[in-house]
Structure 1
Amino acid sequence: MRVTVLTGGTSSERDVAIASAVQIVAALRSKGHDVAVVDTARGLIPLADESRMLSGSVGVIPPSIDELHSLERGLLLSGLGNLAVIRDAEVLFLALHGGRGEDGTIQTLLEVVGVPYTGSGPLGSGMAMDKDVSKRLFRDAGVPTADWTMAPVRLTEVESSLGWPVVVKPSKQGSTVGLTVVKQAGDFEGAVELAARYDDEVMVERFVPGRELTVGVLEGKPLAVGEIIPRHEIFDYECKYTPGMSEEIFPADLPGPVARECQRLALLVHEALKLGGYSRVDFRLTPAGEAFCLEVNTLPGMTATSLLPQSARAAGIEFPDLCERICRTAQLGRLQEPS
């Protein structure tokens, strides 16, 4: 199979995307597939330059806003000018995270190009990327999610309707970039200002204490439930991408009914947002045993040790097989959202 991996991009998760691409490329080549790589911000990466241009490491902090703006000024999505290698592919593997790679923009362009691509279509991608929209759909589908409001909002309203602590975060951002857990009124304004640096819409959400859980969905079926135990209060950027900063347990040590309920809710989320191919749904499990959906990721991390591959491995699917199945699903058009 001829596969072109699209990676990089101009979002704050650029480094994470490239780390995913490195391992996806290796996995697919190990299965005998012909793989090319395109950085959507810089263009085709020649085979001889892959080891130099594709770093598998992720820094402790995300790329700065200035760095990302510099990439955008260079030529936004210039990689899509390499239409020959894109159109020649039998399938495009989207190793992109956040921003225009995950919000439906790239997906819309690829619908025009007419080459099968992995993940969800434009509609599902856009709805999942917008946390306000997705939480409304969670509730409509009967999936519990924490109460929230959108900034600007008065402190008195936060205190009366949500209470402290609250989570302040950009509405369309991933990897907890720009996110703050605010425990007192004096820190609220600064947290909103930080989140607003990454998005023009800021969400203020009730903090849900409890265990951090995640469930992968593949080909319309839930995978194993996993638990993340971060060293910090939340599973933040440093804990996600720094070795030793979190413990990840697959399958999670949960009573059978609780695990099955998380899987049921994950599938409800996947279907409610009209997602295709695969996704990963994150939850908080309260001490009382209730699962609250935090968010859904349409293009979750895809290194061999990322959460979705661990969820798949616990269900008996090794990483190279997972990458191949994702490609086959896209190629066959099964579960792909209609344009």
Structure 2
Amino acid sequence: TTTTTTTTTDRHRIRLTRLDPRATRLALERLLLSGAKCGLPIELVIEHVVRNSMHRSGVSGMKKMSPPVTGAQAAAQASDEDKMKVYVVFGGSSSQRRQSCRSGRHVYLTLKRIPTIDVVAVVLNNTNNNASSQLADATAWRLSYASALDPDQWDAPRAPDAGRFAPSKRVRADLEKYGWVKPSELSSCQDTMMHHHNEQRSTRFGALLAVASREGAIIFNAAHGGAGEDGALQQLCVSSGVAYTGSSPLASRVCMDKAATAKALVQRPVHGATCLPKRVVPASALVSKASDERGWGGRERVEGAKRLWLDIVSSFSGGGGAAPGAADTNNVTTLVVKPIAEGASRGVRRLMDERELLAYAEDIAKNQAPPFPYAYVFEPFFDASRAPWVECSFTLMGALGDLRVVGQSTIDARAKERARAVGHALGVEGCAVLDAFVNTDTGELIVIEMNTVPDMTSPDSTAFAHARNADPPIDAETLCTRALSLALVRRFR
């Protein structure tokens, strides 16, 4: 960013005049966060950046932008009784915590633009166990507007640093004194003002759900991985009588477990869709032997890895489980390994031989903090760069048994129909994203995984991008409100 400094009698006045196109994303986030600390909505900060840039360049005639509908304006348009109360829940202690915090911020800001919704950002801390009983005791922080804009402070499971949000009455007074903003332009929402940081408070997540139940609120689940995606959070919401976005506890648990997903598609087969054959290896077979001096030590260590490698490779002989013509598993020479219940490609690695298998095990033992995944999944490597196969994602949205593929107009209709059928077979509802290999000639699918809590970190995330390219286009606000509506449909089903 670039600033211009004007000296007055007793102090310096700093006015932002333009945005440097080379400015990093971090610099822009800091600018918006600074505005939020002073009670300035994002739209107002951007407006003044543009206005001052035009003034600097001698350009005039910019019309006043419509102010964001917040605070008193929103209250005038929708009474508290008419507003839908929504808690956007994110965080947790899974390996996808950072992604979850950014998804939560984006969803929170999207819903905040809707005057008929009263939205609160909630970050989960210390959810180190996936059991619903322990998730209920996890610490949940209700965030102020300024805090929700700064997800980096939530990357580690810890309490918020209140010192970073010191009172800003003097700063706000200076802004008004020097005419940078008018008093009427400052947001009247208490949670957008930095000096209300003391209203940030923590509670047990179970207690927050009890409050949500009394309020008739909806939980917008943006907690990726771990307890947020494996059915624990969903089961806790069901037990508390709270509507929530996404799939049922059972469907969430099945889709989070890659081996369970493959098994479900065997039990409920979909014509033209299947999974690559899989071999589940307990984590103890990898981690304990790699970290224990008595296991796989020296030459015996390499020989042990070789025996395990040959055992896994031989289990794929015969090509069982692959789509017709999809992969030749009679002569497997390369494997792919991944944690059985992780997302965002975490822990995924291509292995060429037993030495790379041993290196992978050592890496897990040395660098991954416990608790380890209880198992790892091995499957033959599939080269999606070979025509006619391509890797593709499908955004599915709808009620149970009534899913629709959002966007993807260029994809074969047969492939989209099979993607819907896979979603129905897995019991998916709400909004979910299916990753698969697609045969562009036949429309056949090889399912990679189903994400029941899809990435929503930015407007370019898969679900938002597909919605934007739909016919007619679906904006972010509409996509999020549809997810909320589907949560209510399930609650009253």
TM-score, normalising length: structure 2: 0.55
SS of aligned partner of 1:123: helix
Q: Cα offset for 1:56?
A: 10
Contact 1:168 1:181 in 2 (8 A): yes
SS of aligned partner of 1:31: coil
Cα distance in 2, alignment partners of residues 195 and 216 from structure 1: 32
Q: Which structure has the larger Rg?
A: 2
Cα distance in 1, alignment partners of residues 103 and 206 from structure 2: 19
Q: Which residue of 2 aligns with 1:12?
A: 95
| One-letter amino acid matched to 1:213 | C
Q: Is the counterpart of residue 271 in structure 1 residue 414 in structure 2?
A: no
| One-letter amino acid matched to 1:222 | V
Cα distance in 1, alignment partners of residues 218 and 311 from structure 2: 49
Q: 1:193 to 1:129 in 2, by over 3 A?
A: farther
Structure 1 counterpart of 2:255, from 113, 121, 128:
128
Contact 1:146 1:207 in 2 (8 A): no
Q: Cα offset for 1:216?
A: 0.7
Cα distance in 2, alignment partners of residues 270 and 135 from structure 1: 13
SS of aligned partner of 2:450: strand
Q: Cα offset for 1:157?
A: 2.9
Aligned length: 292
Cα distance in 2, alignment partners of residues 85 and 29 from structure 1: 20
| One-letter amino acid matched to 1:81 | A
SS of aligned partner of 1:181: strand
Q: 1:27 to 1:89 in 2, by over 3 A?
A: farther
Q: Cα offset for 1:137?
A: 1.5
| One-letter amino acid matched to 2:453 | L
Higher mean C-alpha displacement, 98-107 vs 268-277: 268-277
Q: Which residue of 2 aligns with 1:217?
A: 396
Q: Which residue of 1 aligns with 2:479?
A: 322
Cα distance in 1, alignment partners of residues 233 and 239 from structure 2: 10
Q: Cα offset for 1:284?
A: 1.7
Contact 1:208 1:284 in 2 (8 A): no
Q: Which residue of 2 aligns with 1:235?
A: none
Q: Is the counterpart of residue 295 in structure 1 residue 392 in structure 2?
A: no
Q: Is the counterpart of residue 94 in structure 1 residue 94 in structure 2?
A: no
Contact 1:39 1:79 in 2 (8 A): no
Unpaired segments ≥5 residues, structure 1: 58-62, 72-76, 226-250
Unpaired segments ≥5 residues, structure 2: 1-83, 126-138, 160-202, 286-306, 317-328, 385-389
Q: Is the counterpart of residue 147 in structure 1 residue 326 in structure 2?
A: no
Contact 1:3 1:89 in 2 (8 A): no
TM-score, normalising length: structure 1: 0.78
Q: Which residue of 1 aligns with 2:151?
A: 54
Q: Cα offset for 1:312?
A: 1.8
Q: Is the counterpart of residue 39 in structure 1 residue 123 in structure 2?
A: yes
SS of aligned partner of 2:486: helix
| Equivalent residues in 2 for 1:221-232, closer than 5 Å | 221-225=404-408
| One-letter amino acid matched to 1:40 | L
SS of aligned partner of 1:155: helix
Q: Which residue of 2 aligns with 1:247?
A: none
Q: Is the counterpart of residue 108 in structure 1 residue 265 in structure 2?
A: no
Contact 2:105 2:149 in 1 (8 A): no
Deviations 1:88-139 (A, max 9, x none): 2521100111101000001111111101100011110111111101011123
Contact 2:210 2:240 in 1 (8 A): no
| One-letter amino acid matched to 1:133 | A
Cα distance in 1, alignment partners of residues 440 and 395 from structure 2: 23
Contact 2:397 2:405 in 1 (8 A): yes
Q: 1:270 to 1:194 in 2, by over 3 A?
A: farther
Deviations 1:177-199 (A, max 9, x none): 11111122320123245568540
Q: 1:310 to 1:111 in 2, by over 3 A?
A: same
Contact 2:122 2:141 in 1 (8 A): yes
| One-letter amino acid matched to 1:311 | H
Q: Cα offset for 1:278?
A: 1.8
